[in-house]
Chain A
Amino acid sequence: MNDTAYNFAYLDEQTKRMIRRAILKGIAVPGYQVPFASREMPMPYGWGTGGVQVTAACLVPEDRLKVIDQGADDTTNAVSIRKFFSRTAGVAVTEATGEATIIQTRHRIPETPLREGQILVYQVPIPEPLRFLEPRETETRKMHELEEYGLMHVKLYEDIARHGQIATAYAYPVKVEGRYVMDPSPIPKFDNPKLGQSPAIQLFGAGREQRIYALPPYTDVVSLDFDDHPFTASKAPHDCDLCGAKDSYLDEVITDDQGGRMFVCSDTDFCAGRQAKGHVGRLGQAQISSKKFANSLQGISGSAEGTA
Chain B
Amino acid sequence: MIRIENLSKSFTLHNQGGTVIPVMAGAALTVARGECVGLVGQSGAGKSTLMRMVYGNYLTAGGKLFVGGVDVAQAPPREIIRLRRETLGYVSQFLRVVPRVPTLEVVAEPLLALGTPAAAARDRAAELLSRLNIPERLWTLSPTTFSGGEQQRVNIARGFAHPYPALLLDEPTASLDAANREVVLTFIEEAKARGAAILGIFHDEAARTRVCDRLLDVTGFTPKVAA
A and B touch in the complex (CB under 8 A): no
| Chain A contact residues, CB within 8 Å of chain B | none
List chain B positions with a Cβ less than 8 A from chain A. Answer: none
